[in-house]
Amino acid sequence: MVTAWFYADSPEDPREAHKYEPNQEVTLDHLASLGVLHWTFNPDTELDKVNELAKERKYVSRDEINIAKDTLPNYDEKLKTFFTEHIHDDEEIRYILDGSGFFDIRDKNDRWIRIHTFKGDMIILPAGSYHRFILDNTNYLKAMRLFKEDPKWTPINRDAETETHPRRLEYVRDFLEAKAA
């Protein structure tokens, strides 16, 4: 099951936990207020539940990504790309089949929240949300990626123009401003 906390910025390896001392935990309700959805399904016995959720949410395509030094071409470059802050035009849906890793998402005050995902976790990050991904210190994750259209992963890296991107504006309106009101 996922756990989450506010990310303590430091020069240490981004694959480390980056927790404050004492830890500043973040609840699943807080994540939900940012539009982050989460389920836990056993990959060995509950694929039917993943399929039901995919049908309900209109995910029509999927693929698998195996992130490890010996399985992912251009491993180091890919990790840098994944860890660069970005948004997407669509939700980011990941079902962790094996291994573990961190998804970081910005909160309404632009602070990073670190979400630790493990085998069986399904996480959905809303379109337009600033986020990034990095493996944890196990250096391995196998995930199913689900898509509403053909499989594609197109990051829109954060810059001055990203703030006016239509999906970013929708996200701010629906989750950040709505929760502040």
pLDDT along the chain (181 residues), means of 10: 95 96 97 98 97 96 96 95 96 97 97 98 98 98 92 87 96 84 47
Phi, psi at 101, each rounded to 5°: -170, 175
Distances (CA, A) of 10 to 17, 21, 37, 112: 11, 13, 28, 12
How would you label 36-73 residue by residue, b for 16+ Cβ within 10 Å and e otherwise?
A: bbbbebebeeeeeebeebbeeeebeeeeebebeeeeee
Report the Cα 76 to chain-centroid distance in Å: 19
Distances (CA, A) of 74 to 69, 80, 149: 8, 10, 26
Gap between the Cα atoms of 130 and 117, Å rounded: 18
Phi, psi at 125, each rounded to 5°: -100, 130
Gap between the Cα atoms of 48 and 96, Å rounded: 15
Which residues, 6 or more positions from 53, have their beta carbon under 8 angstroms from its beta carbon? 39, 59, 122
| Contact predicate 113/6, CB 8 Å | yes
Gap between the Cα atoms of 43 and 119, Å rounded: 8
Residue 179: predicted pLDDT: 52
Residue 181: predicted pLDDT: 47
Residue 1: predicted pLDDT: 81
Within 13 Å of residue 16, how many CA atoms lie on the same side as its CB?
9
| Closest to 91 (Cα-Cα) out of 52, 134, 124, 43 | 124
Residue 35: predicted pLDDT: 98
Residue 153: predicted pLDDT: 74
Q: Could you tell me the pTM of the whole model?
A: 0.95
